[in-house]
Structure 1
Amino acid sequence: MKTLIRTILLLPCVFLSSVAEERGCSSPPDSPEFRLMSYTPEKALYKCAEGYDPYGGSPVILCSSGRWGNLTLQCRKKLCGNAGELLNGYFTYEGESVLGDKAYAVCEDGYTLKGPEAIECGITGWSTELPTCEEGTVTCSAPKVANSESKDFAHEHKAGDAVTVRCSQGFQIKGKAQITCGSDGQWQPNPPQCVPTPEKSGRCGVPENTEGTNARLATKYRAEKSYPPGARVYYMCDVGYVSRGSKYRRCIKGQWTPLELKCRRKLCGSAGELLNGHYDYSGVEFGDMAKAVCDEGYQLVGQATRNCLSRGWDGHPPVCEVLSCDDPPEVTNAEISGYAQAPYEYRTVVTYRCLVGSLVGSSSMWCTENGTWSSSPPQCKDVTCEPPIIPNASWVRSRNGRYQYRDSIYVQCVPGYTIVGQSAITCGQDEKWSPELPKCRSTAGFRNRFQRG
């Protein structure tokens, strides 16, 4: 009897379990990052949404006991990478160059931006309309803001000039008070508005951007005209700056609490080790520059200047390659001794030795820091001088026949004669004796003239 009762009690449980197993799942879950491709009561197939790339996990989930399993497919925003080179300028990047991020064009001094100031990383990559930097300067006309005090505005402003918009009494600023004349001749950001000041009901007006802090109000809060008591807004640091401190402000008794957010320039640190050279830094924070300088005898290969941007130092590290000279010129009837094999690097010395004739010129030359040889090569010439004809004289190192280049002799006068001029003479490369041949003057004749005088 007890067995029968247990059997009767178990039958509903078995029936319910069987129903649960046979029951299928409802529609599969959806997500902005995924796209449902197809599904059956047993399984569903997903793929990454447009603008996202897969990087792991399974795209399939299974239905079990009326519930869908967890989707392990991992999708990340499409990566656009580098926006390319901007001639006479460069790009600064917002974020990691993924879908939705922007790259801002910055032109060098003396060049004007033509085209969009910012390009966006989209589904197909960076925007096709790329800006250019053209030579010349631009100006912005005085900003026109209704209900503002514009008496301090000049008729024209140069690119880079900043002005601060102040609203008339009874009006408050909506937008950024300080605007800058951009390189495209437009104010950046767009000039603000002067809207009526809200009644004193505890509500707060549009919170202003605090000047000189490099912090800006998040975009989502700029559309509102006023905020109720207790409302909270937050600020973001500009591109290239990192935040520290609270980014929030609250509306309390009709006034916004002070902004405690501090934005400091991003630190790039060292631009890297430069073998056989060094970097000259203007600083190592966002906006600073590092210039590569090679040691004496080395030449720079690559871009000399690197800029500290929001994502670190731009470009690639250059290298300092040792300077070298062309092969030394060949000289007829001479051979090169010493270091006589390429490459002939900076400070390499080569020496010539004549096989025939005499060496005229410097026997050695070296590779200079300019990649040129220190002098012209010598020559091997058959340079000789005739024996000198000096009456009443003899000389040391006399020989029969001609004298070779650089041979020296020492002239002596015979007794009763005195030498006039240099006693040592040398055979020069022009086959003449140098200095001028001396003379032997009679001592007796000189003495008689002296006595008569």
Structure 2
Amino acid sequence: MCDFDCGLSCVKRGVTCPYLTPPDHGRIIYSNVNKFGSRATFECDMGYVLEGAKIRHCQGDMWWGPSDNVPYCIKEVVCGHPPEVLNAANDAPTINCGSPGQLKNGYMTGERFDYPNMIAFFCNEGFDLIGDATTRAISMCNENGIWLPPIPRCERKSCGTSPFVNNSYMLVSSKEGSLTNVMFNESVEYSCMNGYQLYGHSRLTCDSSGNWDHYPPNCKLFSCFDPKKLFNGYIESVGEKLVNNGYLLNSTVMFRCPFNYTLRGSSTAVCTNNGWNPSIPRCENFNTCPVPELPVGARYTKFHPSIQSINDGQYLEYVCPPSKTPSRGKIACRNGSIIPRLPICFNGCKLYLLMNYTNIKFTKLSVRHHERVYYSCYDNNSVPQTNVSIICINGHLSEKPTCSQRDVFITSDPLFDQNIVGTTSTPKMMLQSPNLFSFNKTCQGGQFSHDQRCAVSCKEHPPAILNGRAVFRSTYHGSVARYRCFPGYRIENNYHKLTCHHGKWTPVQPPRCSPIFCINPGPLINGKIFVLLHDRIPALPIKSEFRSYIPNVGHGRTIQFECNQDYTLVGPTGWTCNHGRWMPAERPRCLIENHVHPNIIFTGR
């Protein structure tokens, strides 16, 4: 490429020169910052004139030429008329060649157009000087008032005819362009003919040095490998087969398996740009499974009774009787075995048939296999001896429900103790005195003892609360019901339980569950915050801008962060409010993008 006064030479791409120091009372204007070929024009403030070269250029040696002399600005001095000399006259004529005019697609340097000054000419990037002064591109005003050599012109560089690629189509990017004379900044697009695949760059561009930016591509005949290398059966070819045991693009093959083998995969495949589609199948041993018998009352669906076996990979569906579970089931044949091993229909439990449980009350009289049922005792003086819930397992209960007589608690005082003489009491009927200094008495065998205490149970379950639930095991005297809030709520004042005391739950007022909020996250500098709404129709989330005046955000809500243009998000893309805390804990930031300079590429002719 042209390196100004140096002539044509190979210059490293990406060459830059150090920025120049502006003169005092002046400034520097760059045509293309500090890159190679850039023009630095020196200008002075009003009242000052420039001493030295007005224009310097960034050369291939990474310095500003054509000379090392640094121009500077001095105070302008205006001289008057020349002094009068006796018997003499100042009649020296000035030879002026006049302005050479503007150089299209280029520029010139030089301020004076009179004899014997010179002007240098330069072309813009991607253009060549055409004319007599193509070596140094300098014209001089001679004593006859003529610029010699004549003013040159700048023409766009050409890469010549576009490279020919076999089995391809070519298209030039510009409407005025020609495939026989591709100019600077024009491109040629290559595409391969049907059945050929392109290797290399599909687009070539004529650069500023008059060369192509990439090597031309190749269009090679595309083929898929012979599937016999992977398939263990027979292949029937539909498309044309190549000599090198491959198949042309869009060729189709069909796969067949020998007797007693079954095909796993598709029976056909097509040769595409990505290879065989779908992938190559395989032949596996052909195994059958006998159809197993079903439990009483069950039946197969979409199945003929005359069929005695099913092939490997096939499955059958069956339906259990209405009283059994599951309602539907499925078996499959895998490598000669039924999976699962046997079809099963589980029996439910008919609790109304259990007549020996006359003093027990169940929550349901008919339950399915693995279903849990709760029970209680009819007699208020009886309690369950085991868990209050049991499970039905294939027609039988997991354990025997049992009720036993419990203690009856009666609260008394000293006056009542005096009047209890002659009172008939059941065995283990106990009296409890509310007086702190009195003692607890048990009515047993006509006499009171000090062995046991009695009190009245709570008839109702603990009261329900909003946004929470009560967890308790019984309603007997002294039982404790603990309250738990749903996610996003917390117990107020750390008061979370009630106690059954002589038939009443105390305290009377149950706990309360208050919602938990996350505080306003504050603004995102150089970005915006959006809230995702999931509670609308359709079910897809709706993004709405988060308002700064909103004081807090409810549990489970999600906000999203986005940065403004030219900024990059560093950190999480969103937060979720989880029990009063934003998760994750890291706070995002919007940082300005840093554009990394590309690597310098060394090229030459």
- Report the TM-score when normalising by structure 1: 0.45
- Report the TM-score when normalising by structure 2: 0.36
**Greater C-alpha radius of gyration:** 2
Which structure shows the bigger proportion of residues in helix conformation? 1
